Amino acid sequence: MTLPTSSAGATAAAARPLVTEKGPRNLLGQGLLLARRNVRLSSVADTVSTMVVFPVIFVFGFLAIFGRLLAARGVDYAQFLPPAIVVQWMFSVAISAAFFFAADRRTGMLARYRAMAINRGAVVVGRMAADSLRALLAIVVILAAGHVAGFRFQAGPLAALAFVALAVGFALTLSAGTSAVGLASRDPEAVSSTLHTVYLPLLMVSSAFVPADAFPAWIEPFVRAQPVTAVIDALRALADGGPTAGPVTRAVLWMAGLLALFSLAAVRAFRRAT
């Protein structure tokens, strides 16, 4: 048998001279190849159920449960709810990022990429690009469902774009943090359940589903101060019109701080992940 490694059988390409892995062209090119791979890996069935069907159920489900109740308090729930579901799904995107990283560690794919002559940042770019795509898909689905229910952007297209950008930014911020956890593990299921126990209380005890003043007095200060509330309030300000500078600045500052912290942890975990 002629082995494909023998000089006779090999294409000229396989023998090309060594090339460097540095530089932005490599980062982008290899990052996009990996992004495509990440997208292909999330199966179609899973994407349809978790990114399309579930958010739609949440929008209409919560609307049916709480819509009339909150109307009595003067809250237009169809306008109030969609930003909260968007934030909920940004968490979901971030948790799936951690799941995929832990899976890539378990299968040895991460070690393989890290030992290959590809740009050091390509794996991260690939993850971020794929996460952004998932986030965008979820946002589009939720806003479409919200539109059917009566949700409207009332501050013009620029505010609507800022809404989407802020939401995707939040997903990426969270992904940096969850990735640090995912990269430290080889057990995707355990990572996923651990992160759910952090995210669910944070979301519940925020202004996501009911206004902050609906909480008992002892916990209300926490509800108002925590970052999930800050991001949801900023998204609502961008959707509803009215003063946006205050809430958006607060959300962006929170995200910048968290991103700095999470990135440090993620880079550390990435360097240690074999």
Nearer CB in complex with another protein: 107/193: 107
Question: Minimum distance from CB of 123 to another protein (Å)?
Answer: 10
181: number of Cβ within 10 Å: 24
| Tokens standing for residue 7 | 């000089």
Q: Where are the alpha helices (DSSP H) in 108-213?
A: 109-115, 122-149, 156-183, 188-204
Nearer to another protein, 111 or 264 (CB): 111
Shortest distance, CB of residue 162 to another protein, whole angstroms?
35
Residues near another protein (CB under 8 A): 1-7, 9-11, 13-16, 18-22, 29-30, 33-34, 37, 40-41, 43, 107-109, 111-118, 122, 274
Nearest to another protein of 112, 147 (CB atom): 112
| Least gap, CB of 48 to another protein (angstroms) | 15
Is-contact 238 166, C-beta < 8 A?
A: yes
Which C-beta is closer to another protein: that of 217 or that of 272? 272
Comparison of 29 and 187: residue with beta carbon closer to another protein: 29
d(CA 44, CA 193): 22
Question: Least Å distance between CB 106 and another protein?
Answer: 8
Minimum CB separation of residue 183 from another protein in Å reads 13
DSSP 8-state code for residue 116: S
Dist CA 146 CA 60 (whole Å): 8
CA–CA separation, 217 vs 176, rounded Å?
A: 33
Compute the 3-state secondary structure of the chain and give helix, strand, coil in percent, each to the nearest 5.
Answer: 75, 0, 25
